[in-house]
Chain A
Amino acid sequence: MPQSAEKIIDHELLFRQPEYQDMLAKKKEFEFNHSDDKIKSIVEWTKTEDYKQKNFARDSLAVNPAKACQPLGAVFVANGFAKTLSFVHGSQGCVAYYRSHFSRHFKEPTSCVSSSMTEDAAVFGGLNNMVDGLANAYSLYKPDMIAVSTTCMAEVIGDDVDAFIKTSKQKGSIPEEFDVPFAHTPAFVGSHITGYDNALMGVLRHFWDGKAKTTEPLVRVPDESINFIGGFDGFVVGNMKEIRRIFDLFGVKVNILCDPSGNWNTPTDGEFRMYAGGTTKEEVIAGLHAKATIVFQEYCSEKTTKFIREHGQEVVVLNAPVGVAGTDKFLMEISRLTGKPIPAVLEKERGEVVDAMADSQAHLHGKRYALYGDPDQMLGYAAFLLELGAEPAHVLATNGGKEWEIKMQALFDSSPYGAGCKVYPKRDLWHLRSLLFTEPVDFMIGNTYGKFLERDTKTPLVRLVFPIFDRHHYHRYATWGYDGAMRVLVMLLDEFFEALDGNTMEIAKTDYSYDIIR
């Protein structure tokens, strides 16, 4: 009998017991699968250059893409404002998915409501759903603000969200003066980073430009504060802490426009806090008057950047800088904008991370990496790898476009370690699978889905990209700033050493290299 009360075994071991192995072998009789030889030959074929060419020739099917849809980014944004309820207008299943997706990554609750549109709404439009939905959400969850975005259903039928919100107010669902910023976030345009952009601009436009023509637009009176816009970021809990610390050290007043790190980092102490932290309305308004804005991830905020520039502010656009030179640039921009010197504490931290890199660079030098994820983060990680003397051999972003491709190529061209590296916009993880067979690398940087590639190609995976479901608490640590660079460095090194140890463990065969000092 495989199971016992003394030592209860889990699925991992249970099904390896002879009773189950026997059962599973016999089940094959009913499966009428292809012959083992046939399967094996196809396995081998998928590793070839021929397969790769056919794979790269496809133009309609996406297999294992590395992107999600717009409303996910909008829910991320809504979560970044104080006492704000995220309200997605459209089918309800979408909201169940966004909530699950974030909760699986952050291991935290994610509150969000849907207007639960069904077939009648498909025919007649979702006005009633908006009217009832806003009234219910307001009564039950007592938010200070409701941030509306849309699913593809509402977009296909062309619901006029602005008008619907106004009608809801007329019908008394919510008070006239209650803030309901909105954004159209069609899932069939762009990706989650586009949704981030649209939703964030929706909030700024609401407060800066006269609340959907219901009040006078605000007039900018420049002050000395700086805005910071982080972009869609799976490490937001750790990173926001680091960003605030950096601005504090400068002694600069920062308006972080969208900070979900509070909602996704509440204590277990007997109380569930549906709303925690987040950017306040006052901070959003203060944002208009800021001296300048730092957009940390260009491709997460293209429209927002333009919008802010149109309001007379300088906007500094970065590409999720990670590592020394990237962080240097970030800090020098703060210094330039504010006229304040780089704090000594940060300068010392810089020295510390350079020290750590000097200690360890020999292990990473010349190592080849495949990376995939959002376009800005790919630029940030690739730049750090180049600093370490490693090669970002394949860099892929399913949601990366032509401009990103050019920028990435320019980055490769800026370093001798970038020679021979390739950038792959609009490709997916099945393309990457081909690349990992035809042009293998030493390591891969990606998200949880990368583990399927690790299984198939044996390329060790470093989890530095959202979503991360199968490792816990990475999101609590920063990847930005010198502190973040240290963390990323350690993750790269850990994977390197684990892989080396794993490869040198065979007794009397390879374990001469199983060194205790490295």
Chain B
Amino acid sequence: MTATVEERKATNKALIDEVLKAYPEKMAKRRAKHLGTFEEGKPDCGVKSNIKSLPGVMTIRGCAYAGSKGVVWGPIKDMVHISHGPVGCGQYSWAARRNYYIGTTGIDTFVTMQFTSDFQEKDIVFGGDKKLDKIIDEIQELFPLNKGISIQSECPIGLIGDDIEAVSKKKSKEYVGKTIVPVRCEGFRGVSQSLGHHLANDAIRDWVFDKVDPNKHPEFVSTPYDVAIIGDYNIGGDAWSSRILLEEMGLRVISQWSGDGTIAEIENTPKAKLNVLHCYRSMNYISRHMEEKYGIPWVEYNFFGPTMIEKSLREIASHFDDAIKAKAEEVIAKYKPLMQAVVDKFKPRLEGKTVMLYIGGLRPRHVIGAYEDLGMIVVGTGYEFGHNDDYQRTTHYIKDATLIYDDVTGFEFEHFVDKIKPDLVGSGIKEKYVFQKMGVPFRQMHSWDYSGPYHGYDGFAIFARDMDMAISSPIWGLTKAPWKKAA
């Protein structure tokens, strides 16, 4: 990182030109809009986003089903989520996202199970509504403690004209008002996971909020300090290491959306005084809806790394009285020595190391502060399925001359990393082994590489240890055979 900002901008431009040359001309023009360099002072990152991926380029993106079943609905633990259609979608997403929860799986909790209608040719030809009807009966018989059922549509459902809404209504009536939620998240809808988040949010609005009796849980008594955690999927326990801080500052967390969440928590969320929103991308829709319909304000926060945690705790506290504000300060003070000790331990080894990120949701910007707390520099970042409002928010985090790549292709990402040679790449499972083969340290930043939590103060210690472990591993000294090194 000795190059000046202007030099780096020139290097980025050259790199972008190089990768664009590999595309057919018409396609290069389309890709060019997604690649750029951040210019300090600009309101966004200068790239287009949320546009269809080019065919055949090895996009890293997934689909609407992944956004709905995999992200939003799947973690709601006391409901059964049916992967409705052929067997594959549910199989590949089965228990793969590390949404931690407490519960007796298969009895009162169903997160790490794969329920599917396993469509056969006859279901495609004659329609699957009757089968779905029967499936709901079978679920009710064999899993009697389930608190609700969601129907996660796979591609064929929307193509063959099934009426899953009618089936849902009928069965809900049959089972005396049971929560049954049809979600039209067929994989071909939209351009990425993102539309699936939106459709899933809308389904909660239409099929949970608008249908539930507001007095369903009369035992629930509100307090002035009730908040809901929105957009934390409890990956490796993230929501838990966040909840503990909110509770320590005197707030009462009445709901987790949706990691380790229950349908009762979702139903009671309109009683919250404030919605605290971590993953803006996947749950801003329902937050806005609750603001409009129930007058609940929402605030975005960032629990990665002590600098951002501190800022966020104060921001959240600012919505409450002085007692909460004072307690927030106590929490910050309590964890300061721990954070200092973590930084003292790892920063000397990580100072000045460069990082390239490519992730989804909130992370391409949210984790930057945590790296900076360790003295590391993020030199490139991009979103799998971000929108322009994500790139606007990203400007608050990144430095001048940061390389930006939206919906990056395998080819581009490999080329960028090969030329920029960062000390660490943070991305997903499909990218991990590509870069490790190249000798570049890597951490999966979707699943925390089977580690975590990374949220909150307790999580930051793990994050710091993991980044150090990735970069400082002796393995990277062995990638070149000694006889080749000498040559």
Measuring CB to CB, which residues of chain A are less than 8 angstroms from any residue of chain B?
1-6, 8, 10-11, 14-15, 19-20, 23-24, 26-27, 30-34, 38-39, 42-43, 46, 51, 54-55, 58-65, 67-69, 71-72, 87, 90-94, 96-101, 103-104, 107-119, 121-122, 129-130, 132-141, 151-153, 156-157, 186-189, 191, 266-273, 430, 433, 449, 452, 455-456
Contacts and interface: CB of A to CB of B under 8 A. Distances in A.
Interface in B102-127: 102-108, 112-121, 123-124
Given A118-B191, A135-B27, A188-B120, A103 B433 contact: yes
A22 to B, nearest CB: 9
Nearest to B27: A136
Contacts of B62: 92-93, 96-97
B108 A68 contact: no
A58 B142 contact: yes
B156 A153 contact: yes
B306 interface: no
Given A1-B338, A267-B437, A272 B414 contact: yes
Contact of B22 (A140, A153, A269): A140
Interface residues of B, number: 126
A69 B189 contact: no
A105 B237 CA distance: 24
Contacts of B155: 90-91, 151-153, 156
B237 A109 contact: no
B236 interface: yes
A198 B345 CA distance: 56
B327 interface: no
Nearest to B228: A30
A221 to B, nearest CB: 37
B130 to A, nearest CB: 9
Interface stretch (B35-43, B90-98, B279-287): B90-98
B430 A110 contact: yes
A193 B240 CA distance: 41
A269 to B, nearest CB: 6
Interface stretch (B3-11, B133-141, B309-317): B133-141
B426 interface: no
A32 B262 contact: yes
B411 interface: yes
B88 A189 contact: no
Contacts of B256: 27
B63 A68 contact: no
Interface stretch (B52-60, B164-172, B375-383, B386-394): B52-60
Given A3-B461, A60-B134, A272 B434 contact: yes
A43 B265 CA distance: 24
A61 B458 CA distance: 41
A408 B340 CA distance: 64
B119 A188 contact: yes
A449 B243 CA distance: 30
Most chain B CB neighbours (cut-off 10 Å) among A2, A87, A92: A92
B479 A69 contact: no
Contact of B145 (A34, A55, A114, A273): A34
B233 interface: no
Given A118-B190, A122-B188, A189-B121, A136 B114 contact: no
B87 A67 contact: yes
B58 A113 contact: yes
A121 B254 CA distance: 43
A377 B476 CA distance: 38
B481 interface: yes
B437 A11 contact: no
A54 B113 CA distance: 19
Nearest to A43: B107
Contact of A30 (B53, B114, B255): B255
A140 B430 contact: no
B333 interface: no
B433 A118 contact: no
B406 interface: no
Nearest to A191: B87
Interface in B334-376: 334-335, 338, 341-342, 344-345
Contacts of A117: 55, 188
Contacts of A191: 87
30 contacts: A1-B334, A2-B458, A3-B338, A23-B243, A24-B102, A27-B253, A39-B145, A43-B104, A46-B107, A58-B141, A60-B138, A61-B134, A63-B113, A63-B114, A63-B142, A64-B113, A65-B87, A65-B91, A68-B92, A92-B62, A94-B89, A96-B63, A113-B58, A114-B59, A122-B188, A135-B27, A139-B24, A140-B57, A187-B88, A272-B414
A156 B264 contact: no
Given A68-B92, A188-B124, A272-B437, A5 B58 contact: no
B138 A20 contact: no
